[in-house]
Chains A and B, each alone.
Chain A
């Protein structure tokens, strides 16, 4: 791998700036080519326009990514005024929502939570389970001195469960920990110290770490996605003032929660929705990048799909609100607006990956999607693509990502592109689906992946065909075809049974009795 030694930071920083410039050049060049140079059919114009919008979409996403990276490299660390002040800590209400979970995991994590949150916390176990015998949760909660709350209805789902308890609490801080999360013994001490120090901060978020990433390729891909989010994007968002809370591993200031009438029950991504409400009320979040809580990646394809589906449709549902209350509001500076725009539109990515994926196939059918002349191609479009991809790779390497994470990150979104398309259609049609968690379900039938597999077959045929045409244009098109085919290959590893993670292997072996 490229090793630039001590100059890496400088080189990557310069490359991010050059990349941003070339994003504009690339977009403008392709627009110029489409309008001025193009003499094609209606279909070609249609796909060219689609392709161009996709370039603009990824352009905006890339710019916010690179800006976040730059901020995380330069401003993030000094922005955390960190220091543990003894005796200044106030009490924390720790809320642990539980919904139809696997009993052994519940037992382990309740013990971890109860013993690791320390003396200054009151733990509330919010059990909304509808199936199985959950008497053991009540019994264990009582033994561990935690308050057990069981609801017969699921009004407002997770947000409802949290709100039902929150409204009567006196503690100045409220922490939310999902039941699949295991806090380290110093989690609350460190996060409340930050809230003590920064009275204008509404919440402190720490990263979600998938401690069972060694259990499957799927879990590792999920971890790679988390890496980009928690090592680069959130650090940037924390500095830019556009951080949203992520539902777990977060400690809120009760005053901030009260100011927005607690969690937003109208959204299935209550975490982001509540943060948007807080932002509108002037409360900012702080991201503390220290691994203080250990969670679990979804290990089954169904679980992963549930998780991604909820994030996608939830975020998309919030789009009108974010557009109206933040993007259109005069209160927010344009930098924050761009960032919120990128956040709220991100999950439409499936539509834009689709045009990239079908481009080589369309080429085979004689429909040219990006007709650009050689000069523009080699001086604008090619440098744009190469620069953005190289900077993307280098920025992750600079943050310590293993090379396979970089590949997984390029692959992950391509792999689930149909999900993003379905989610956006559902949101558009206002279809409702029940709240699901990432820990349910098993393997999916292979027919579920018909979209990806069809595209793979077509890409292989089209790329081979284009390769045999022996022109510069078709060589390039074939290259992208094969490249995207490679990104889709992991689909055959995702839908498998997980192996035991080292995190789940017993630490102590009993002898005899």
Chain B
């Protein structure tokens, strides 16, 4: 939770993104006194100026009353300031919202704005990035799920390729295919994966035999699961840190998991590393979102892939099911997997939507 009290620097960045202004031209004055036309002097928490535009801003939280807003509005008017904003730290009630609307006061959701300031990890798929408010937030673990052939590996590879194209090193951990086969397959798609791999911008790794045998010892209860998680996570982080990797994909995560809540919670939480975006993929078996029906509860966000076959061919869709700490659009969009990678399909005729999708949304919400 962001407490009251923004620093000028952050506020300047928020204003810059909100009003599309260059931060260099923004000046911010904190606790500034301005003489009103009535001869009274008022103190404003923030006065923000750029190119002759002036905004008066005040912070609001759950204790802010309608009266406070009225006083703020009238003081600003008296001081000759027409543009006003409140910096809200908590959700604003409907009554105050309406009031701000009437008075022409902009509402700036500080938490939301600060979140968007964080450099997000884009997929390079415009529609998806837009629905994600700009991309995934680094430092968290996300899951991409879907039935076989839905495009999980393709999306994960696209995520790494795009990252490499903007200078972020990627790591692909394969748990069920050999790297040779994977590279042979992915090179047929024109997303630059192989090229970035050759330039060492993307690492491709597989899990070792010793990990497989340790995992089977855990499944049979012969080995302590915390030890296994500690080992896997530590080695992974050692690779990430030593190679300065920013994006990680584990495809699929299932082979590193056992169907146990404590285990999956600890494993998925432990994979998170500050500044690094981790995506894991999962097929569907026990639930509409994952193999064990547990994974979805412990991932920070979930993107679900689906497809239906019709006379016109395969219709692929994707939707964001869950995305903590981000405003997202949960409506599905449609795409094709082409030789140039993922292409969004703009217009779709009557679509036979999978009826179960609605249930998923209800469950998650």
Chain A interface (Cβ < 8 Å from any Cβ of B): 107-109, 111-112, 115-116, 143-144, 182-186, 209, 211, 291-292, 294, 502-503, 505-513
Contact = CB atoms under 8 A, between A and B. Distances in A.
A414 to B, nearest CB: 30
Contacts of B238: 107-108, 111
Q: How large is the interface on B (under 10, 10 to 19, 20 to 34, 35 or more residues)?
A: 35 or more
Nearest to A182: B230
A184 to B, nearest CB: 5
A291 B234 contact: no
Interface string B227-244: 101111111111101100
Interface stretch (B48-56, B114-122, B204-212): B204-212
A294 B237 CA distance: 17
A184 B241 contact: no
11 contacts: A108-B234, A112-B237, A115-B270, A116-B233, A184-B226, A209-B227, A292-B226, A503-B231, A505-B210, A507-B210, A511-B203
B205 A510 contact: yes
Given A112-B230, A115-B233, A115-B237, A511 B270 contact: no
B208 A184 contact: no
Given A108-B238, A115-B273, A512 B179 contact: yes
A509 B208 contact: yes
Interface string B253-276: 000000000000010011001000
Interface of B: 173, 179-180, 183, 197-198, 200, 203-208, 210-211, 213-214, 224, 226-227, 229-239, 241-242, 266, 269-270, 273
B206 A509 contact: yes
B231 A508 contact: no
Contacts of A107: 238, 242
Contact of A294 (B203, B211, B230, B269): B230
Closest 3 CB pairs of A and B: A511-B179, A505-B210, A112-B234
A186 B227 CA distance: 12
A507 B227 contact: no
B179 A506 contact: no
A185 B269 contact: yes
Given A182-B234, A211-B227, A513 B200 contact: yes
Contacts, number: 99
Contacts of B237: 111-112, 115
A144 B240 CA distance: 12
A506 B200 contact: no
A434 B250 CA distance: 48
A508 B207 contact: yes
B229 A184 contact: yes
A294 B210 contact: no
Contacts of A209: 224, 227
Contacts of B242: 107
A111 B235 CA distance: 9
Given A111-B241, A115-B273, A291 B232 contact: no
A111, A143, A512, most chain B CB atoms within 10 A: A111
Contact of B230 (A183, A506, A509): A183
A511 B234 contact: no
B127 to A, nearest CB: 32
A184 B230 contact: yes
A135 to B, nearest CB: 16
Contacts of A291: 224, 226-227
Contacts of B210: 502, 505-507
B183, B213, B214, B233, most chain A CB atoms within 10 A: B233
Contacts of B205: 508-511
A249 to B, nearest CB: 13
A508 B214 contact: no
Given A185-B266, A509-B208, A511-B204, A115 B227 contact: no
B230 A185 contact: yes
A185 B238 CA distance: 15
Nearest to B272: A115
A169 B148 CA distance: 54
A508 B250 CA distance: 12
Contacts of A505: 208, 210
B232 to A, nearest CB: 5
A144 B236 CA distance: 15
Nearest to B174: A511
A508 B200 CA distance: 17
B226 A507 contact: no
